[in-house]
Amino acid sequence: MIKHARGMLFAISQQLRVSNTWGFQVKTRRLATVSGAGLVAPVGSVAEPEPRPAALHLGTGSTFGGVSFGAAVGAPVTGEVVFTTSLVGYTESMTDPSYSGQILVFAQPLIGNYGVPDAAARDAAGLSRFFESPRIHVRGVVVNDYAARHSHWAAVESLGQWCARHGVPAVCGVDTRAIVSLLRARGSTLGEIAVAPSANLPFPPPSPPHTLVNPNQFNLCAAVSTKVKYIVNSGGDVNIALIDCGVKHNILKCLVNRGAKVTVVPWDHDITKDAEKYDGVVLSNGPGDPGHMAKTVANVQAIIANDVGKTPTPIFGICMGNQILGMAAGYKTYKMPFGNRGHNQPCIDLTNGKCFITSQNHGYALDDTVKIPGWMPYFRNANDGSNEGVRHTSLPYSSVQFHPEACGGPLDTDHLFSNFMNEVRALKREHHRLSSKIGTAINLYNTQTVGSRSSYA
Ligand SMILES: NC(=O)CC[C@H](N)C(=O)O
């Protein structure tokens, strides 16, 4: 069966390699998506998808014909076409909510060789063991060489089966180097994946005439953020408010593994109105244009204003979180030509000159050329000089554009979570000490006797 599928794939892709353009009509008819209206079929219920002609059409007019190895979608799937240079981590990238609205092109030629692990596997805190969120967020994937045979101890299905179950189209057999060159030259562009209704059609399916919708015109963070507050690791010694703009599970894990209780709140939630006290705030990653995040920016400004005259609440932002904290400080954002996506982006810590290799996935950046009193650039990209973080000059507010939680990618900047947690605990102790100084005699007595036995003492 595998041999047969591989043979067909090879034959079709050979056929398509010699016919990347067309000037003819192919009859199209609608196909039901495998997953239906948002429902995902269970693991094992979907056979290896039938290889069919497929194509990636770019808004710039280029077409790349290939072979479908994912969902047999009826209508073409549109999105912003971006590329990643990451060598591994396709399951983590595809479930990263920051990729919402995007068609992801892998520069690494061989994709799918280690299959897909079990989405139901959980860690002790109930978080997904292998994925960054419960579902696939990319709109489609484009690869050069799809490994029809996978092998890994954790794999429960192939990449093609996983895509098919989630209704996500996937195209292989295309020259991804040519696509990456084009995207680098022309910038990220809108595009669509079209899959032929039948395996017997010898040519890539054409793009029906229509306007490509730019996903970045929508507030994608609002769409992927949690709708309700929830807590992870309720027994943690410090309470971190995580403002969820599309959080990757590994950010939660990095906090929980360091002993924190994490209270996850929606993207537009104002934590200064909450009755409960937070010891620290994390601003998560998230998809789309940071220009839609004015509400979150205002809420962060409220947290900072609320700190005046008190022990400050440490804030740490990641990716979209960097853009939000930066905008709260007064910086502006801009759209990069093709962004930085991959696991090998060098970033210099401007406080000590050290360079770290980082995991990245972003298409927007902060413009830090304008000086903002009280704030400074924190990290800088050693390749393109773009901003990779900002920090307050004296208060514990900082953020990074890259992903210190990795998954996938290098763990070189994992210490930033430890720094943040140390700051949170130190300031909680300080808060404790100050309130004991200015409190009434009875409070002072309680703080000294009870506080000295507490875990923060
Ligand atoms: N990973 C992220 O948080 C991405 C942030 C933002 N959507 C960007 O593309 O720049």
Which amino acid belongs to residue 98?
Answer: S
Return phi, psi of residue 293, to 5°: -100, 25
**pLDDT surpassing 80 at residue 89:** yes
pLDDT of 337-383, one tens digit each? 999 999 999 999 999 999 999 999 999 999 999 999 999 999 999 99
403 a catalytic residue: yes
Supply the pLDDT for residue 204. Answer: 73
Lookup result for tokens 């004991």 = 436
**pLDDT surpassing 90 at residue 275:** yes
- What are the tokens at 372? 């903002």
Strand (E) or helix (H) holding 332: strand 332-349
pLDDT of 208-241, one tens digit each? 667 899 999 999 999 999 999 999 999 999 999 9
Does residue 408 have a cis peptide bond before it, meaning omega lies within 30 degrees of 0? yes
Supply the pLDDT for residue 407. Answer: 94
Q: Residue 434 — very low, low, confident or very high, per pLDDT cuts 50/70/90?
A: confident
Report how far apart, in Å, the C-alpha atoms of 135 and of each of 92, 138, 261, 442 are: 10, 9, 24, 52
Spatial distance between the Cα atoms of 45 and 56, rounded to a whole number of angstroms: 27
Supply the pLDDT for residue 183. Answer: 97
Do residues 165 and 130 touch, judged by C-beta distance below 8 A?
no
Q: How far is the CA of 205 from the centre of ligand 1 (A)?
A: 32
Least Cα distance to 384 among 428, 347, 335, 350 occurs for 347
Q: How far is the CA of 156 from the centre of ligand 1 (A)?
A: 30
Answer yes or no: is the C-beta of 338 below 6 A from any ligand 1 atom. Answer: no
Residue 299 CB-density burial (10 A; 0-12 exposed, 13-18 middle, 19+ buried): buried
Report how far apart, in Å, the C-alpha atoms of 49 and of each of 70, 81, 154, 184 are: 6, 23, 21, 31
Q: What share of the chain is helix, strand, coil (3-state, %, to 5)?
A: 25, 25, 45
| CA-closest residue to ligand 1 atom 8 | 362
Strand (E) or helix (H) holding 191: strand 189-195
Question: Per-domain residue ranges for the chain?
Answer: 2-217, 220-432
Do residues 190 and 61 touch, judged by C-beta distance below 8 A?
no
Least Cα distance to 282 among 327, 332, 320 occurs for 320
Supply the pLDDT for residue 38. Answer: 47
- What lies within 8 Å, CB to CB, of 336 at 6+ separation is 362, 363, 364, 365, 386
- What are the tokens at 353? 């000159």
Do residues 21 and 138 touch, judged by C-beta distance below 8 A?
no
Classify residue 168 by its DSSP letter. Answer: -
Spatial distance between the Cα atoms of 255 and 220, rounded to a whole number of angstroms: 25
Q: What is the mean pLDDT of residues 83-100?
A: 98
355 a catalytic residue: no
Q: Residue 43 — very low, low, confident or very high, per pLDDT cuts 50/70/90?
A: confident
Supply the pLDDT for residue 257. Answer: 97
Q: What CATH homologous superfamily does 220-432 map to?
A: Class I glutamine amidotransferase (GATase) domain (3.40.50.880)
User: Taking the complete model, does pTM exceed 0.90, yes or no?
Assistant: no
Q: Residue 75 — very low, low, confident or very high, per pLDDT cuts 50/70/90?
A: confident
Spatial distance between the Cα atoms of 444 and 435, rounded to a whole number of angstroms: 8
**pLDDT surpassing 70 at residue 453:** no
Return phi, psi of residue 447, to 5°: -65, -40
Q: Which residues pair with 231 in a beta bridge?
A: 263
Q: In this structure, what is the dihedral angle of CA atoms 377, 259, 277, 313, given to the nearest 10 degrees?
A: -20
Q: What is the mean pLDDT of residues 291-299?
A: 98
Torsional class of 247: left (φ above 0), alpha (ψ -120 to 50), beta (otherwise) = beta
Answer yes or no: is the C-beta of 183 below 6 A from any ligand 1 atom. Answer: no
Supply the pLDDT for residue 44. Answer: 74
Q: How far is the CA of 128 from the centre of ligand 1 (A)?
A: 21
Answer yes or no: is the C-beta of 161 below 6 A from any ligand 1 atom. Answer: no
Lookup result for tokens 């039938």 = 50
Supply the pLDDT for residue 438. Answer: 55
Q: Residue 435 — very low, low, confident or very high, per pLDDT cuts 50/70/90?
A: confident
Is 2-217 a domain of CATH 3.30.420.40? no
Characterize 198-233 residue by residue with b for buried, 16 or more Cβ atoms within 10 angstroms of its Cβ, and e for exposed.
Answer: eeeeebbbbbeeeebeebbebbbbbbbbbeeeeebb
Query: Of all residues in the chain, what percent carry a pLDDT higher than 90?
Result: 79
Residue 78: half-sphere exposure toward Cβ, Cα within 13 Å = 14
- What are the tokens at 108? 């690494």
Spatial distance between the Cα atoms of 298 and 93, rounded to a whole number of angstroms: 29
| CA-closest residue to ligand 1 atom 3 | 285
Q: Which of 279-283, 321-325, 356-360, 445-449 has the lowest mean pLDDT?
A: 445-449
Supply the pLDDT for residue 437. Answer: 67
Give me the catalytic one of 157, 403, 407, 423.
Answer: 403
- Mutate which of 319, 322, 402, 403 for ligand 1 pocket (most atoms within 8 A of beta carbon): 319
- Mutate which of 364, 388, 402 for ligand 1 pocket (most atoms within 8 A of beta carbon): 364
Question: How would DSSP label each residue in 350-414?
Answer: TTT--EEEEEEEEEEEEE-SS--TTEEEEEEETTT--EEEEEESSSSEEEESS-TT-SSS--TTT
**pLDDT surpassing 60 at residue 188:** yes
- What lies within 8 Å, CB to CB, of 402 at 6+ separation is 319, 345, 347, 358, 359, 360, 379, 388, 389, 413
State the chain's mean pLDDT as an integer. 88
Answer yes or no: is the C-beta of 324 below 6 A from any ligand 1 atom. Answer: no
132 a catalytic residue: no
Q: What is the mean pLDDT of residues 83-110?
A: 98
Predicted complex ipTM exceeds 0.90: yes
**pLDDT surpassing 70 at residue 444:** no
Q: How far is the CA of 443 from the centre of ligand 1 (A)?
A: 45
- Mutate which of 137, 359, 361 for ligand 1 pocket (most atoms within 8 A of beta carbon): 361
Spatial distance between the Cα atoms of 203 and 438, rounded to a whole number of angstroms: 78
Classify residue 290 by its DSSP letter. Answer: G
Classify residue 120 by its DSSP letter. Answer: T
Higher per-residue confidence, 436 vs 109: 109
pLDDT of 115-174, one tens digit each? 999 999 999 999 999 999 999 999 999 999 999 899 999 999 999 999 999 999 999 999
Do residues 390 and 329 touch, judged by C-beta distance below 8 A?
yes
Answer yes or no: is the C-beta of 65 below 6 A from any ligand 1 atom. Answer: no
